[in-house]
Structure 1
């Protein structure tokens, strides 16, 4: 199943990693573990942030996605199941709507 991972990264320890140069190794290492379909870095409420789209086979894979961000960056992570337009077309909304008239 496809999941959106929203990551909010506090200034520290990230600033320290930028200053000492270790960020160049840390970010690729975390991304290599999560194998995102897509990743975007952005600002979130005045902090650094990242938005990843990943595939997970089961909920038991969520800790493997979250812990690197928690442990490396003291980040906050939010997880949302997402659908493509093709997924939504397969959802049977007309049938569901008819059932709940």
Structure 2
């Protein structure tokens, strides 16, 4: 069974598991299915907005899709959430991604 199928099996038992959704979205990115990845990241962040690692990957995905304004908004929201969580590392990564984009 491939990784995507295994993660989907785990999600059947824990459908709101943010770690699993994040992992599945990353697997979709690896195979070039940005649409599925975007949906998962957006669903995850709507359910758990404090899952700061997903903002970086969603922002980069939007940047690749030619949606710079949406990417900027995602990076900025992620920076706000990272600041609230006192996650300096995530904040700095998001800031660097934002700086690269603008």
Question: TM-score normalized by structure 2?
Answer: 0.26
* Structure with the largest fraction of helix: 2
Question: TM-score normalized by structure 1?
Answer: 0.26
* Structure with the largest fraction of strand: 1
Asked which structure has the greater RCO (Cα within 8 Å, sep 6+), the reply is: 1
